[in-house]
């Protein structure tokens, strides 16, 4: 089965084909240079760029895969959460294609796809604990199976990636700043006492990064060498030691905070021995290292996708779509696009499992957000 995946939830237009043998091909056009001018994603511009590129990317993907469109059996598309205008471009394209080709159509929860991506190269032992750390989300899940993801905790304000991006912006780094902060941090010396580990003095699995953000912003404001740094910074080699050290201290504070709550979650759910780390911030080098170590020390395992599959991509959509299609799920063309903040309904049709015809799936295909 050739499953086409389409991702357009934010500022990446991405398409990929996955079949039973793995990834056949993948293309991605990032708009980050455009949005960097404005210091963040401009929704109207994002949807216009998706419109400009999606058709050409599809042609390019077919060419690279050596496939003709008729060889696509399933079209999977990210239906939410995300920017509504951006999502609509991918969803409209996917519906048109599925209709023209007579292919199966499936709308995918973007968060669910992030969580399952690591299954491409690894066997996931369920139940598993999952930490989704991206630009929009910092969520803990208890995953009983690939389909049952119960939310255990979430951020009360900024997501981890958002905190990296906002502090990076104050430091004069180009949006999105997480990757550059990671590179600078790797070259710097962290002061473990410089910034607080926020929102740990409680017994829950939620996060709040606003206090850390405020502390870092005021440190930068009070440090002339940081405040008056040359902007924008083009490369790691141009960076001063004081900037690298600041990034290292900030990264350490975020990673310490995430790891403390990972330990708390594992203590609370002693039957969980697998940790899935997913989302853009899962490509952070320090976080990957610390989480891997932590799971090894506890006799469990950390499953983390390769960095390219941590940030938004279409392979994760195609892979999740293929899994769902094989399990008999699909949507009809009335499927709605769901923007950030709205609940994604459990409205797939399961056409194969006896007695479960109709909308919804009793074994709860839910990924709360």
User: Does 283 sit near ligand KG4 (CB under 6 A)?
Assistant: yes
Which member of 7, 49, 256, 312 binds ligand KG4 (CB under 6 A)?
312
Residues in CB range of 234: below 8 A, 6 or more apart? none
User: For Zn ion, which is the closer residue by CB, 140 or 195?
Assistant: 140
User: Does 274 sit near Zn ion (CB under 5 A)?
Assistant: no
Provide long-range contacts, Cβ within 8 A and 24+ apart, for 24-30.
24/65, 24/67, 25/61, 25/64, 25/65, 26/61, 26/313, 26/314, 26/315, 27/57, 27/60, 27/61, 27/64, 27/314, 28/313, 28/314, 29/53, 29/57
Residue 280-319 contact track with Zn ion, rule CB under 5 A, x = bound:
--------------------------------x-------
Angle between helices 178-186 and 160-170 (to 10 degrees): 70
Which member of 8, 134, 155, 245 binds ligand KG4 (CB under 6 A)?
134
- 157 annotated ligand binder: no
Q: Could you give phi then psi for residue 159, rounded to 5 degrees?
A: -80, 160
- The rounded distance, in Å, linking the Cα atoms of 278 and 114 is 6
The alpha carbon of 350 is separated from its chain's Cα centroid by a whole number of angstroms, namely 26
- The rounded distance, in Å, linking the Cα atoms of 314 and 321 is 10
Q: Are 115 and 328 in contact (CB under 8 A)?
A: no
Minimum Å gap between C-beta 347 and ligand KG4 is 22
Half-sphere exposure of 56 (CA within 13 A, CB side): 8
Beta strands in 244-321, from DSSP E residues, in sequence order = 274-278, 301-303
User: For ligand KG4, which is the closer residue by CB, 161 or 188?
Assistant: 161
User: For ligand KG4, which is the closer residue by CB, 13 or 134?
Assistant: 134
Q: Which residues pair with 351 in a beta bridge?
A: none
- 110 annotated ligand binder: yes
User: Does 158 sit near ligand KG4 (CB under 6 A)?
Assistant: no
Structure tokens at 193: 């006492």
Minimum Å gap between C-beta 251 and ligand KG4 is 7
CA 79, 4, 161, 35 dihedral sign is negative
User: For ligand KG4, which is the closer residue by CB, 233 or 281?
Assistant: 281
- 284 annotated ligand binder: yes
Residue whose CB is nearest to ligand KG4 in the complex, by number: 280
Minimum Å gap between C-beta 273 and Zn ion is 26
- 358 annotated ligand binder: no
Minimum Å gap between C-beta 112 and ligand KG4 is 12
User: For Zn ion, which is the closer residue by CB, 8 or 134?
Assistant: 134
- 27 annotated ligand binder: no
User: Does 134 sit near Zn ion (CB under 5 A)?
Assistant: yes
Binding-site partner at residue 161 among ligand KG4, Zn ion, none, CB < 5 to 8 Å by type: ligand KG4
Minimum Å gap between C-beta 271 and Zn ion is 28
Cα–Cα–Cα angle for 202, 205, 210, nearest 5°?
75
Binding-site partner at residue 81 among ligand KG4, Zn ion, none, CB < 5 to 8 Å by type: none
Q: Which residues pair with 330 in a beta bridge?
A: 349
Region near ligand KG4 per CB under 6 A, out of 30-38, 178-186, 255-263, 292-300: 178-186
Q: Which residues bind ligand KG4 (CB under 6 A)?
A: 10, 134-136, 161-162, 164-165, 176-179, 182, 279-281, 283-284, 311-312
Q: Which residues bind Zn ion (CB under 5 A)?
A: 134, 312
């Amino acid at each position: 089965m050739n499953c086409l995946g389409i991702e357009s939830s934010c500022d990446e237009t991405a398409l990929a084909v996955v079949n039973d043998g793995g990834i056949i091909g993948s293309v991605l056009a990032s708009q980050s240079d455009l949005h960097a001018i404005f210091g963040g994603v401009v929704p109207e511009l994002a949807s216009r760029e998706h419109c400009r590129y999606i058709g050409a990317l599809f042609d390019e993907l077919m060419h690279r895969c050596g496939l003709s469109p008729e060889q696509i059996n399933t079209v999977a598309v990210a239906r939410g959460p995300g920017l509504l205008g951006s999502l609509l471009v991918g969803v409209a394209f996917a519906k048109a294609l599925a209709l023209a080709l007579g292919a199966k159509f499936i709308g995918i929860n973007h968060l669910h796809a992030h969580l399952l991506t690591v299954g491409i190269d690894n066997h996931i032992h369920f139940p598993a604990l999952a930490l989704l750390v991206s630009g929009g989300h910092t969520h803990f899940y208890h995953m009983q199976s690939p389909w049952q993801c119960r939310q255990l905790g979430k951020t009360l304000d900024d997501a981890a990636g958002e905190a990296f991006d906002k502090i990076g912006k104050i430091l004069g780094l180009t949006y999105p700043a997480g990757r550059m902060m990671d590179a600078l941090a790797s070259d710097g010396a962290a002061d473990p006492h410089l910034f607080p580990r926020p929102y740990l003095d409680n017994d829950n699995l939620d996060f709040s990064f606003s206090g850390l953000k405020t502390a870092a912003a005021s440190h930068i404001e009070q440090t002339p060498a940081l405040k008056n740094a040359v902007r924008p910074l083009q490369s790691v080699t141009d960076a001063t030691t004081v900037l690298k050290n600041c990034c290292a201290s900030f990264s350490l504070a975020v990673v310490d905070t995430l790891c403390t709550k990972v330990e708390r979650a594992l203590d609370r759910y002693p039957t969980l021995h697998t940790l899935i780390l997913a989302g853009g911030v899962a490509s952070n080098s320090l976080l990957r290292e610390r989480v891997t170590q932590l799971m090894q020390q506890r006799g469990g395992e950390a499953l983390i996708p390769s960095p390219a599959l941590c940030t938004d991509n279409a392979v994760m959509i195609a892979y999740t779509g293929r899994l769902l299609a094989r399990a008999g799920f699909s949507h009809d063309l009335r499927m709605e696009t769901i923007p950030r903040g709205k609940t994604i309904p459990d409205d797939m049709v399961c056409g194969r499992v006896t007695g479960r015809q109709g909308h919804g799936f009793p074994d709860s295909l839910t990924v709360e957000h």
